[in-house]
Amino acid sequence: MKKAAWAGTVLWLLAGLVPASAGDTMDSTKETLAALLPPEIQGWKAAGQDRFFDSETIFDYLDGGGEVYRSYNMKLLLSRRYEREGAPAIIADLFDMGSAADAFGVFSHDLDGEPAGMGQDSNYKAGLLSYWKGRFFVSLYAEEETEEARRVVLDLGRQAAAALKEEGPRPALLGLVPEPFASEQRLHYFHTHPILI
């Protein structure tokens, strides 16, 4: 009897040490991503349900473009479409990359554009805003660039960046790059071979 009670106590203690299941963690990450975006912004409203993709299903969303995100160890993507009658749709893609280094890396993959002054680094070009902050990479774009859509994309980006409270370090490797090559707008960071293809 004592042995059974002792074994039950050990199992109970071990249960407290076991981390939450992957499903619980995934649900928590989905909630975190969804909370970063408003349901409506300047007349554009979220259309339909948020869509979520992981490293296995990313190709269902980005046919041919998913390998870039997989190369940086993406964990989860939330995609939300905003619509307003008579205006171009705006697409918000929020990636949990798992680490600040990978969020920076996927941002550094495409450095075209002008700094937009949000996140830890950002670029805006022709209706597309991208930035990274902490372990997150954010991509917002208007299906057609108009002045009004541009303002909304930038406003949406600022709201999401403000909701992301934590920042993260750039990859330590960047500190080894000598001047004048150390310009952040010219450095691309990667750590897996597929990104070279």
**In this structure, is residue 87 part of a structural domain?**
yes
**In this structure, is residue 3 part of a structural domain?**
no
The pLDDT-based confidence of 81 (bands split at 50, 70, 90) is: very high
User: DSSP letter at 50?
Assistant: -
Cis peptide before 169 (omega within 30 of 0): no
Domain CATH number, residue 111: 3.40.1000
- Taking the C-alpha atoms of residue 136 and residue 166, their distance in angstroms, rounded to an integer, is 10
**In this structure, is residue 1 part of a structural domain?**
no
Q: How many CB atoms are located within 10 Å of the residue 178 CB?
A: 6
pLDDT of residue 187: 63
pTM, full prediction: 0.80
The pLDDT-based confidence of 110 (bands split at 50, 70, 90) is: confident
Higher pLDDT: 83 or 112? It is 83
Higher pLDDT: 19 or 142? It is 142
Average pLDDT on 98-116 reads: 92
Residue with tokens 């928590």: 28
**In this structure, is residue 119 part of a structural domain?**
yes
User: DSSP letter at 58?
Assistant: H
Average pLDDT on 7-23 reads: 38
Tens digit of pLDDT for each residue in 27-44? Answer: 888 998 999 999 999 999
**In this structure, is residue 121 part of a structural domain?**
yes
The torsion angle over the Cα atoms of residues 136, 26, 160 and 48, rounded to 10 degrees, is 130
Average pLDDT on 173-185 reads: 65
Higher pLDDT: 6 or 179? It is 179
**In this structure, is residue 22 part of a structural domain?**
no
Task: Tokens for 2, please give them.
Answer: 């004592």
Q: How many CB atoms are located within 10 Å of the residue 157 CB?
A: 23
Domain count, the chain: 1
**In this structure, is residue 170 part of a structural domain?**
yes
pLDDT of residue 71: 87
Range of the domain at 84: 35-196
